[in-house]
Structure 1
Amino acid sequence: MKVLLWVLTLLFTTFFPAGAAPGDRHIVIETQRTALVIRVDQAGDPTIVHLGPRLQRTDEYAGVPENGKRGEDYTTIYNSAYTPAGGRNLLEPAIQAIHADGNPSLDLKYVRHETRNEADGVVLTTVFLKDPQYPFEVSLFYKAYQKEDVIEQWSSIRHSEKKPVRLQKYASANLYLPAQRYYLTNFSGDWAREMNPQEVELTAGLKVLDTKLGTRAHLFQPPSFLLSLNRPAEEETGEVVAGTLAWSGNFQLQFEVDPLKNLRVIAGINPYASEYTLAPGKELVTPALIFSYSNMGKGAVSRNLHRWARKHRIPQGEGNRLTLLNNWEATYFDFNEEKLSALFKDGKKLGVDLFLLDDGWFGNKYPRNDDHTSLGDWEENKQKLPHGIGYLVKEAESAGIRFGIWLEPEMVSPKSELYEKHPDWVLKLPNRPEYYFRNQLVLDLTNPKVQDFVYGVVDNLLTKNPTLSYIKWDCNAVIYNAFSATNPNQQHLYVEYVQGLYKVLERVRAKYPTLPLMLCSGGGGRVDYGALKYFTEFWPSDNTDGLERVFIQWNYSYFFPAIATCNHVTDWGKQPIKFRTDVAMMGKMGYDIVVSKLEEKELAFSQEALKTYARLKDVIWKGDLFRLASPLTGDVASLLYVTEQQDRAVWFSYLVGNRYREGSQAPIRLKGLSPAKRYKVQELNIFPGTNSPINRNPVVLSGDYLMTVGFNPMVDARRASVVLEVTEER
């Protein structure tokens, strides 16, 4: 009998250790390499017991301990899948509500779950929770992209209480991770100095990243992070979670090391000034947290996000993009039809696909000759453009290139006809002075009439000019004066503004599904996958200094693919045009220069570079990115794009230091190639009148050699940027 009891005890502790018990239910969300496992105990509490590598046997998730708990969890819900406030919770909640009868607590119990295939390789799991004492329900959604190893998580909240419920917090996701140590990398900055990384070790307590800017909400920091477990992650080694919230407004990311030294991550809309009154029968759907886990370093999670974005999120993410010439630095506000027609010819001469007319083309009562007037008055300025936009479209097409235009339809100038006619359409406080950000105010997109107006600006322009080929959509002001004259609930303003924006963009995309749209917000003030559902590309920064852009583009690349990243060659910075061009090639290249002022060799170089880019762009846009040498830790930045077939690669290297004899003093090891294949290494983008020491002695080397020993791109002060093509020799 004792032997039998011993055997039964051994079996129980083997398969149900540290808190798992017979009757517990396991909800398994899996990708090719990753699993997130929710355990539902017999009391109906859903908790996360695993987020990490996928196990080969699904049944073994039942044997996972309570997520590495190292002591007594007084509540038993430290690792809740969606932590409710009130009741027995002692930590930061994911959701906080006050019921219609004034009760400020929630208790969310498991009801059921369902899993269905949404598309090839895309599986959606929905977990339904309910408060046992109130008709209050929460659904947790987990969309798993199998091949890309990405999970998209969001929540929906509804109730059927007799009166409205007040939601004081309503997060999108609630993750739980056990490790010995945690290292958080977040990114901060301001205009023209976006995406500066800081890595800190998280200690006991709560760290919060958030924004309260309303529009242009990411001006100071984006809703994106890297989280390394146990030790700071390297590029190709270490456990890493990369996360980014798909929301273009105020966000909040919370990282709490709990009393048992495990990490809780809560992400969603910032509840600041945004208590949400939810009426009976209505539903609030939160934005998605998109995340990827890998035990193969930062490079792996960023490649996962790139593949996911190209295939599943960004419009035409696996298609083509247009190179363009922008007039801004050539003319600023001072132009007319004659000047623009000359620039069309310059664009054709240079070799771009499209000419983009920037700010200053509109306004009659108040002409747009500087940035103090006219926003909202989207009619061609008759003095500058007497024949209208349609004439310019045809003139550009006659010159052999397409035509695009700049808009800032969410904004209004105090000195404008729109403001005079519809002051109630503007976000501004009663009985207070108006505060202006960049001499403008924000239109109230919570108002359906304003939504119709903003949509009409775009639709009218495209209806009148059906061959208009590109729109740059700008957003330069944050929300000062946060008050709506028409919204009955001011606490909904920040949330419903973004929802209103998305409604407009949905309508635009429904009617113009293939129109290229650039997401601009004074630079990186609005870069997220909520907006990038509608835009083909984004403008990372107004800072186009070639050296600065190496760093800015490097850090954006952790979350966003090259095909979506607009990089322009401009006159910012002191670097030669070759350096600026080589840096711009790292993504979707364009120009904002005065072509007529280029020297003969500079023009010839640029023309040839565009031809080279046309040949290489599919490798850069759709290849896997491998970062080889970081500008944050050394004198040289080096990165490589490799095709899925491993037959072609494009390798960029830049000198980022200026001390004596700095450069690539030794070979740089490549990554992502096939060890068995042999590759020819050849230099591209050689400036006229110079020679390449690499092309003088062409080399063919195995992938094994290039990844084990490496190759020196010979970067130094005389060769500050080097572009190499690595091609399989057949």
Structure 2
Amino acid sequence: MGVIVQEQTGLFHLQSSGMSYLIQIVDGYPAHVYWGSRLKQRESMEGMLIHTPAGAGLDRLPQEYPQYGSGDFRNPAYQAELEDGTRITELRYEGYRILPGKPALPGLPAVYVERESEAETLELLLKDAYSGLRVSLLYSVYEDRNVIVRSARLGNEGPNKLRLRRALSASVDLQGRDELEMLYLSGAWAREGSVKRRPLQQGEVRIDSKRGMSSHQFNPFAALVTPETTESVGEAFGFSLVYSGGFEAGAETDSFGSTRVGIGLNSFDFAWLLEPGESFQTPEAVLVYSGEGIGGMSRTYHRLYRNRLCRGKYRDEERPILVNNWEATYFDFDADKLVSIAEEGSRLGIELFVLDDGWFGTRDADNSSLGDWFEDRRKLPGGLADVARRINEHGLQFGLWFEPEMISPESELYRTHPDWCLHVPGRRRSEARWQLVLDYTRKEVREYIFESLSAIFSTVPVAYVKWDMNRALTEIGSAKLPPERQAETAHRYVLGLYELLERITERFPDILFESCSSGGGRFDPGMLHYMPQAWASDNTDAAERLKIQYGTSLVYPVSSIGAHVSAVPNHQVGRTTPLEFRGDVAMSGNFGYELDLTAFTGEEKAIVRQQVARYKQIRGLVQQGDLYRLKSPFEGDESAWMFVSENKREGLVYAFRTKAVPNGPLRTLRLAGLDPEAEYEVEAEHGGERTLVGGDRLMRLGLPLHYESKDYQSRSFRLRAVDPSLERAGEPEFPKP
């Protein structure tokens, strides 16, 4: 397995344990032959080779990194402008290299290997002889994962300047697959993660972000599926971009039924000047093949991103249960109020207190002080160190909210450095939420933020940081870049952010960082490389969160999804749902509370105490287990999912119904991912008898569901495999996974 080369036919076979990806050199062009379930490597692969119709030209050739201007009229993967203004280049194959393992990408987040034997990398070398443009196509294939990781490095080896106008990370031409559909995630603020599925016809389906961040509107992910593909059956081809800025992903179907899929940096308003000797590295695209439906694709992404994208201390550690004061107090608090919430949290078993917005500068509303990262002594007379110490004395860790990429015009920082924001001289500076965006292309700006945050982290026992970003980029220009490089600003901003995150997470490895962008506005693989979890949405309503968390899980592991219980009526939609229902939804992620614990009744505190105790028992399975989606909230009033341990010895099922059904039918829920030969003890979490049921019966006949005749009901079940021989002997044993 790995990379197999047949030089006599120009065929490259990238092979994992369950997948094959074939490339052939045809007339000097890398052409796409096959991507799908694993093919046995044979001495002769003649039957697989591409034969294009005579005189068809490049428009009929399924290419791996297509160009424009030489007879291919579909979307190109790249475009370069020469110094004379022409835009015609023609990359031809020069050779290849095979590298052990997977190389890191300088300045960019990337998936990785811990041992070279995990993966092998093919590098195809292409060159345009006229201009000197040289492109290296990188393909890394994991041995035990159905994953191909692609990127491109474009270099200028000619004597004159080149300007890149387009540089995608991956392009794949799929032929002979009729009636494909495109699956993607869309939404808006508070409505992230909506699952969309559209049939492909002649023409193009495209999603993108021009906002300088991956956005609430579209996630940098798309998949192609067949009409027959379901959650558990059929083929799925996933494309996910490890990047946190503007992106594009599209599927273009031509008149011959061939579909070209491309993903990478957004070409709109993008250019990159290459002086002689300079090169440009694209972000990487992670391509996943599944022959086990959409769920199989998701679990492949989950395992890869959880274990080979996230890094650091908290990659494998269980995440703490937290309480955040935002919806409890907003900006109106003092040290005593914060400590009272933490004290109540301690009694309930909560492990981490997070101080959200309003602790710095003169921040009494969201119209000032961003950039002034020093505590407000009016609210915190003893400073952050004092309130953190008092909270620590109650047995809770201390966390802190920041928005380090923004600056308020009403701030000391702006009065001192009004040119530090992204802006175009002479143009209006568009404010959103009374704030502007700091120019992270500038080293001095990044240094100021690094030193400001480091000063706090070095003197205050901060165990957790919520890193927020509450607006998109506008007036995307930099005072420090020359005119010919202004179109590089948006990408240089993201590179500057990555440099800062690399420095600060390396300097403070014991801090758990969580990313946020008004919720899910920048929930992407690029951020997960530095911060192993993200706030999925500012919408904390449990019924809405069923959709948000379900959709987000198409690509992202549950260990990355922050999910909290909030007060009712809910602050976003005004809905009132039972505390048990809110808890079960939130326990399907990184669990916490976003409310005033001191306002709870004694009965509510008892429920919270039970929820916290239960989550401590199950969080290892929730955060590290395999997720199986059983019922979609996008298809009705019922939804369900379950978690299964890697060894299939333990399971956890959650089922939800948002609307009551009068005199409804008996409901059964078919489970998934279990060992069909095993016997499982099934225990209802909210009371009920323990029953012993075979894994095959649970998956084929299902688990009976009994809901009360009320709206917003949830049911949860724990499953443990048992040894039947011990059970018959009267000695039940419930081994841990």
TM-score (norm 1): 0.92
Q: Does 1:702 align with 2:677?
A: no
Q: Could you say which residue in structure 2 is the equivalent of 1:97? A: 80
Q: 1:601 aligns with which of 600, 603, 609?
A: 603
Aligned-pair distance for 1:661?
Answer: 4.5
| Residue aligning to 1:456 | 451
Shift of 1:618: 1.2
Q: Report if aligned partners of 1:73, 1:260 keep a CA contact under 8 Å in 2.
A: no
Q: 1:22 to 1:291 in 2, by over 3 A?
A: closer
1:276 shift after superposition: 1.3
Is the partner of 1:120 in helix, strand or coil?
Answer: helix
1:547 lines up with 2:547 in the alignment: no
SS class of match (2:454): helix
Aligned twin of 2:347: 349
Q: Deviations over 1:651-685 (max 9, x none)?
A: 000003345345x733211111111110111111x
- For residue 400 of structure 1, give the secondary structure of its aligned residue in structure 2: coil
Match of 1:567 in 2: 563
Q: 1:532 aligns with which of 528, 550, 570?
A: 528
Who is 1:477 aligned against?
471
Cα separation, 2, equivalents of 1:606 and 1:343: 14
- Opposite residue 39 of structure 1, the aligned amino acid is Q
> Are residues 699 and 137 of structure 1, via their aligned partners in 2, closer, same or farther at CA, if it must alter by over 3 Å?
same
* Cα shift readout 1:313-361 (whole Å, capped 9, x = no counterpart): 0123322211111011111101111111212202211211110000000
Q: Which residue of 1 aligns with 2:3?
A: none
Q: Does 1:720 pair with 2:723?
A: no
- 1:263 and 2:259 correspond: yes
State TM-score, norm by structure 2: 0.91
The amino acid that maps onto 1:476 is N
Say which SS state the counterpart of residue 705 (structure 2) adopts. Answer: coil
Count residues with an aligned counterpart: 692
Of 197, 200, 206, which aligns to 1:199?
197
| C-alpha distance after superposition, 1:254-303 (max 9, x if no partner) | 21112320111111101111111112211211111112111210010000
Contact kept? 1:183, 1:232, Cα under 8 Å: no
Describe the shift of the 1:131–1:298 C-alpha distance in structure 2 as closer, same or farther (beyond 3 A). Answer: same
Give a deviation string over 1:217-238, Cα, whole Å, max 9, x none: 3121111122103x24201111
Alpha-carbon distance in 2 for matches of 1:235, 1:593: 35
SS at match of 1:722: strand
| Cα distance change on mapping 1:593 and 1:44 into 2, 3 Å | same
Give the residue type in structure 2 aligned to 1:131.
D
Q: Which amino acid aligns with 2:90?
A: D
What's the counterpart of residue 106 of structure 2? none
Matched, 1:223 2:224: no
* Structure 1 CA distance for aligned equivalents of residues 198 and 615 of structure 2: 38
2:31 to 47, 60, 71: 47
Mapped pair 1:408 → 2:403: yes
Distance 1:342 1:509 in 2: 31
Equivalent residue of 1:632, what SS?
A: helix
Aligned to 2:650: 648
SS across alignment from 1:464:
coil
Quote the Cα distance in structure 2 between the aligned partners of 1:101 and 1:401: 64
1:72 Cα deviation (Å)?
Answer: 7.4
Please state if 1:624 is matched with 2:631.
Answer: no
Distance 2:628 2:195 in 1: 18
Partners of 2:121 and 2:149 in 1: CA distance: 9
Structure 1 residue 124, shift from structure 2 partner: 1.8
Match of 1:15 in 2: none
Alignment of 1:244 with 2:240, yes or no, is yes
What is residue 358 of structure 1 aligned with on the other side? 356
Q: What is the identity, as a one-letter code, of the residue corresponding to 1:246?
A: V
Contact 2:24 2:49 in 1 (8 A): no
Q: For 2:281 and 2:566, locate their aligned partners in 1 and report how far apart those are by CA, in whole Å.
A: 42
Answer whether contact 2:119 2:140 (CA < 8 A) is retained. yes
- TM-superposition CA deviations, 1:166-212 (whole Å, max 9, x none): 11101100112120111012221111111112211111122221111
SS of equivalent to 1:80: coil
Structure 1 unaligned regions, length at least 5: 1-20, 687-691
User: Secondary structure at 1:424's aligned position in 2?
Assistant: helix
Contact 1:163 1:279 in 2 (8 A): yes
CA RMSD of aligned residues (A): 1.8
Amino acid at match of 1:152: V
Q: Deviations over 1:394-442 (max 9, x none)?
A: 1111111110100000000111111111111111232233221111100
Instruction: State whether structure 2 residue 125 is matched by structure 1 residue 131.
Output: no
Equivalent residues in 2 for 1:371-410 (5 A)?
371-410=366-405
Letter paired with 1:548:
E
State the percentage of identical aligned residues: 32
Q: Distance in 1 between matches of 2:533 and 2:442?
A: 27
Cα distance change of structure 1 residues 22 and 500 upon mapping to structure 2, 3 Å threshold: closer
User: In the TM superposition, what is the alpha-carbon distance from 1:24 to its structure 2 partner?
Assistant: 2.6
What does 1:253-402 correspond to in 2, within 5 Å?
A: 253-315=249-311, 316-363=314-361, 367-402=362-397
Q: CA deviation at 1:512?
A: 2.1
CA contact (8 A) 1:100 1:161 kept: no
**Do structure 1's residue 504 and structure 2's residue 500 form an aligned pair?**
yes
> What letter corresponds to residue 721 of structure 2 in structure 1?
E
Q: Distance in 2 between matches of 1:481 and 1:493?
A: 10
Q: Quick one: distance in 2 between partners of 1:463 and 1:151?
A: 41
**CA 1:387–1:706 in 2, change beyond 3 Å: closer, same or farther?**
same
The alignment status of 1:729 with 2:722, answered yes or no, reads yes
What is the match of residue 418 of structure 2?
423
Query: Equivalents in 1 of 2:45, 2:332: separation in Å?
Result: 66
**SS class of match (1:419):** helix
Task: State the partner residue of 2:139.
Answer: 142
Match of 2:730 in 1: none
Q: Which amino acid aligns with 1:103?
A: T
Give, in angstroms, the shift of residue 509 of structure 1: 2.1
Amino acid across the alignment from 1:596: T
- 1:661 touches 1:716 (CA, 8 Å); kept in 2? no
Aligned to 2:187: 189
CA offsets, 1:455-498, max 9 Å, x none? 22322211122x31010000001112222111222111111111
What one-letter code is carried by the residue in structure 2 that aligns with 1:174? S
Between 1:75-84 and 1:337-346, the stretch displaced more is 75-84
Separation of aligned partners in 2, 1:157 and 1:601: 63
Query: What is the alpha-carbon distance in structure 2 between the residues aligned to residue 710 and residue 433 of structure 1?
Result: 61
Residue 680 (structure 2) pairs with residue 674 (structure 1): no
Q: Secondary structure at the match of 1:301?
A: helix
- Shift of residue 390, structure 1, vs aligned partner: 1.0
Contact 2:59 2:73 in 1 (8 A): no
Shift of 1:308: 0.5
Distance 2:235 2:120 in 1: 24
The one-letter amino acid of 2:626's match is D
How far apart are residue 535 of structure 1 and its match? 0.3
* Distance 1:492-1:355 versus aligned 2 partners, 3 A rule: same
* Preserved CA contact (<8 Å) 1:327 1:593: yes
